[in-house]
Amino acid sequence: MTLVHGEYPATRIGRAARSARAFWRRFRKNRGAVFGMAVFVVLVLAAVFADSISRYDPMEPGVGPTLGPPSGAHVMGTDNLGRDIFSGVIHGARVSLLIGMAAAATSAVIGAIVGAVSGYSGGWVDDILMRGCELFQAMPRFLFALVIVVFFQNSVWNIVIVIGILSWPRTARMVRAEFLRLREMDYVLAAKAIGMTTRRIIFKQMLPNVMHIILVTGSLEIGSAILTEAGLSFLGAGDPNVMSWGRILFNAQRFLRRAWWFSVFPGSAIFLTVLSFNLLGDGLNDAFNPRLKRIRRQ
Amino acid sequence: MWTYIIRRLLQAIPLILLILVTNFIILHLSPGDPVSFYVQGGTGVTEEFVAQMRAQFGLDKPLGVQLALFLGNAIRGDLGYSLYYQQSVIEVIGARMSVTFLLVGCSMAFAVIVGITLGVFSGRNPYSVVDRVNTVVAVLGYSIPVFWFGQVLIILFAVYLKLLPTGGTPIAAIGQGGIASWFRSLVLPTLALGVVQLALIARITRANMLEILGADYITTARAKGVSERAITFKHALRNAILPVLTVIGVDFGTLLTGAMLTETVFNWPGLGRMMLDSLLRRDYPVLMGLLIVMSVGVVLLNLLTDLLYAYFDPRIVYT
């Protein structure tokens, strides 16, 4: 780490702590964002402690009556095979969070690298990468994911990779736009002047300055990845070895007339989760850029 | 104008080609093919028969040759023959296209009309009760899974309130109970599919109206004594509507995906359902046909939104 004249580590830490407190103050004011944060914490707890919270194995049939309404023993009722829906919803949190976060992380990494290289280099590199970006944006994302998952293998990790690979363009575009601005800044010029390698300039000097953009789009991306996975599972193309929310809704489709609980509870879980990540993304965005406009959703 | 349209259409060709080639390769690299699916479970199927079938449908040729044959035929308007439906792909798709178009069209109209109305009202009366309700509805609408919303609508309006049918084709409904029954069968699917778009459109219209109503030329118009109604609809809305058009264009793909899920929930025999069924049956010709229809649809819709830009904003001129 190089020290700018007159600046000592202690004051740097002090400044970081102050800006973190200011950030938290702004974030706290947004009630939606706080709600989103709370739901996120509950979800993480549910996912981590799924086995101790739920009384039954979500995949095990016959633990209750067939299509039993909500009761003391089965708070969210049971499905057509007598499986406990509450256990399914709790374990589903694990699947959704895992897929949502891993897919968003994949797309963030690809998007950040493509966006950074594209914005920093400009010229033909930028042209080629942006055309690739457009191609991915023009593809019907969900259909493409469906084709790959149905034809190859519908495992959790395959779904993660497919969603991740199909959803990086939004991050790439935002990072690129910011890099176009940053590369003209004095500190980049200074870094070039002292002979720093391009790789170091991009990843060590500039990338930390766009982390807030990656975080905000990442949060929105988690929500949309969870929706995509739920849609795939709802069409029967999810991982057959795990109980996901979309899969419960797929099973519920034939029993809507007889068992409302079969659809209402797992669906609410998806709805609340996606809502919380959207609110969280908006809140983070407002807290990072108090004066700037919101990152526009596509 | 016409040169612009023609140029845009020509520019779209490489993009559509690239999508087709990518999908063609993925389809043919995947394990299993239509013939193995077709003969699956059949008794007395000989190796020779399978080989003969493969040869008949050109599946024994190298991938490059198959691709060239497919593209050559597609340009001449021949999209091939579906093994499963025993019909040409054009006929299979044509028969179901109207159902999907009906659903997508109704949802889009619903989303645009209600979304812009809500957005304009909210933009005119920011921080009023209605605006606050709109804002909450917009955030909720954006996060709701289309298929689950459809299920909830069925449970609520069809099963418990018994107001509307759970599904069934609108075309069959005409035969049973005339136009009223046709309309009733459309209500729930339209609502289910339209709500996401509605939320997005309302949100963007509101933001734009707010911004534009604060602009200097609006103050000038007020000073000249232009009526509030004219200011809202003639001066402000016309300018606020451009980004809404962009959203409609960009989100058309999402709408098609949503149509697929909605058709599954309401049991409609449209293109979306056929896509899924054809995937499971490895019915390549139908899949490729659907992809062509969808990518061409997206390209045409994007062109249409660009042309509408010029209509709403005369400063935009295409040459």
How far is A187 from A193, CA to CA, in rounded Å?
10
Please report which confidence band the pLDDT of residue B176 belongs to, taking 50, 70 and 90 as the band edges.
low
Residue A123 has pLDDT above 60, yes or no: yes
For an interface test with B, the pick among A96, A139, A274 (most B C-beta atoms closer than 10 Å) comes out as A139
Q: CA-nearest residue of chain A to B287?
A: A147
Out of A138, A252, A275, the one facing B140 most closely (by C-beta) is: A275
State how far residue B144 is from chain A, nearest Cα, in angstroms. 5
Mean of pLDDT values over A91-115: 93
Q: CA-nearest residue of chain A to B296?
A: A138
Q: Which residues contact B203 (CB under 8 A, 6 or more apart)?
A: B119, B135, B138, B142
Chain-chain contact of A275 with B143 (C-beta, under 8 angstroms): yes
Strand pairing of B81-82 and B87-88? antiparallel
CA distances from A225 to A48, A102, A142, A294, B115 (A): 20, 9, 10, 21, 25
Chain-chain contact of B294 with A143 (C-beta, under 8 angstroms): yes
Q: What pLDDT is recorded for position A24?
A: 85
The pTM of this model reads 0.83
Q: CA-nearest residue of chain A to B137?
A: A275
Pick from A78-87, A191-200, B160-169: least confident: B160-169
Q: Which residue has the higher pLDDT, A82 or A193?
A: A193
Out of A235, A252, A275, the one facing B139 most closely (by C-beta) is: A275
How far is B72 from B75, CA to CA, in rounded Å?
5
| A128 Cβ under 8 Å from any chain B Cβ | no
Chain-chain contact of A249 with B148 (C-beta, under 8 angstroms): yes
Chain-chain contact of A135 with B294 (C-beta, under 8 angstroms): no
Mean of pLDDT values over A98-125: 92
B75-134 pLDDT, tens digit each: 777 777 887 888 888 888 888 888 888 888 899 999 999 999 999 988 888 888 888 888
Q: ipTM strictly over 0.90? A: no
State how far residue A43 is from chain B, nearest Cα, in angstroms. 16
Out of A141, A142, A267, the one facing B148 most closely (by C-beta) is: A267
Query: Which tokens go with A19?
Result: 């800006």
Residue B173 has pLDDT above 60, yes or no: no
How far is B41 from B82, CA to CA, in rounded Å?
19
Pick from A187-191, A218-222, B4-8: least confident: B4-8
| A132 Cβ under 8 Å from any chain B Cβ | no
How far is A71 from A256, CA to CA, in rounded Å?
19
State how far residue B152 is from chain A, nearest Cα, in angstroms. 7
State how far residue A141 is from chain B, nearest Cα, in angstroms. 8
Please report which confidence band the pLDDT of residue B168 belongs to, taking 50, 70 and 90 as the band edges.
low
Chain-chain contact of B27 with A147 (C-beta, under 8 angstroms): yes
Q: Ranked by mean pLDDT, which of A222-226, B9-13, B79-83 comes out on top?
A: A222-226
Pick from A30-39, A172-181, A202-211, B18-27: least confident: B18-27
Q: Which residues contact A228 (CB under 8 A, 6 or more apart)?
A: A103, A141, A142, A145, A163
Mean of pLDDT values over B170-195: 75
Mean of pLDDT values over A128-146: 81
Measured in residues, chain A has a length of: 298
Out of B145, B166, B280, the one facing A267 most closely (by C-beta) is: B145
Query: Which tokens go with A175?
Result: 């990072």
Q: What pLDDT is recorded for position A134?
A: 79
Out of B30, B146, B253, the one facing A140 most closely (by C-beta) is: B253
Query: Number of residue pairs across A and B with CB atoms under 8 Å?
Result: 115
Chain-chain contact of A227 with B19 (C-beta, under 8 angstroms): no
Residue A270 has pLDDT above 90, yes or no: yes
B-chain CB neighbours of A141 within 8 Å are 253, 257
Q: Could you tell me what percent of chain A has a pLDDT over 70?
A: 92
Chain-chain contact of B23 with A147 (C-beta, under 8 angstroms): yes
Q: What pLDDT is recorded for position A104?
A: 94
Q: What pLDDT is recorded for position B37?
A: 64
Q: What pLDDT is recorded for position A75?
A: 81
CA distances from B60 to A202, B23, B52, B285 (A): 49, 19, 9, 15
Chain-chain contact of A263 with B19 (C-beta, under 8 angstroms): no
**What residues form DSSP beta bridges with A93?**
none
Residues B126, B127, B133, B139: is their CA dihedral positive or negative?
A: positive
Out of A135, A138, A147, the one facing B279 most closely (by C-beta) is: A147
Mean of pLDDT values over A208-226: 89
Out of B155, B166, B200, the one facing A263 most closely (by C-beta) is: B155
For an interface test with B, the pick among A146, A234, A258, A276 (most B C-beta atoms closer than 10 Å) comes out as A234
